[in-house]
Amino acid sequence: MNFLDRLLSDLEWLGFLFESLVIRDLRVLAQAMDGEIFHYRDKYGVEVDAIVQFCEQIDTQRTGEPAFLAVVCGKG
């Protein structure tokens, strides 16, 4: 069984891998702008995979206002 077949045979693991890569990329981008990445989970099972915080830290004199602020939610 090749690597791609192994990935596709375990979609839950593939999802964890994808999430880890996304978090890694978000950390790199946020750190370049003195931002931070947080994770949230409470006792009721509410979970947020990534909270990117840097809006107030952006030097708007140098870069202008952010193009957008977003909340990205998965469904399924």
- At residue 43, does pLDDT exceed 90? yes
Asked, for residue 52, whether it belongs to a domain, the answer is yes
Q: Which domain holds residue 43?
A: 3-63
Asked, for residue 69, whether it belongs to a domain, the answer is no
Q: How far apart are CA 52 and CA 50, in angstroms?
A: 6
Asked if residue 29 lies in contact with residue 5, where contact means CB atoms within 8 angstroms, the answer is no
Asked, for residue 9, whether it belongs to a domain, the answer is yes
The predicted model scores a pTM of: 0.64
Task: Give the list of residues 6+ apart from residue 22 with CB closer than 8 angstroms, or none.
Answer: 49, 50
What pLDDT, on the 0 to 100 scale, is given for residue 53? 80
